Amino acid sequence: MAVPATLWRPGMTITDARLNARDYQAGQLVVSFTNLASYTLPVTFPEPFPVAPIMNCEIAAGAGSTGRFEARPINVTPTGWTLFVLITDAAEGPDTWVGVPVHWTARMPT
């Protein structure tokens, strides 16, 4: 179980849980899809958070059609989230991705 990291305050007790606390997690997804204008992928955090974290995700490539897409986290919970990739110009039509990296970060709210 995740224990939120805490800034040190006088009188605090050092515990194993506090020393091993993770209030920040990050990762990379490799995304592939065929002939789509939007795509979703459920993601589970390596370690659950006590509350839903603040999330960010970014497409880590600019080659080809990736420049016409955006990525964002949706349905964020303490245990996971869903990657939502969508084309920003519907007039361009669907596209195909093969092995496109998407980076993500999650942190405890302050």
- Beta-bridge partner residues of 72: 84
The pLDDT profile of the chain, 110 residues, written as one tens digit per residue, is: 455 555 566 777 777 766 666 689 999 999 999 999 999 999 999 999 999 999 999 999 887 778 889 999 999 999 999 999 999 987 888 999 999 999 999 999 87
Tokens encoding 23: 């209030």
Q: Which domains can be identified in the chain, with CATH numbers?
A: 36-107 (2.60.40.2080)
Reported pTM: 0.80
Q: Tell me the chain's radius of gyration from C-alpha atoms.
A: 17
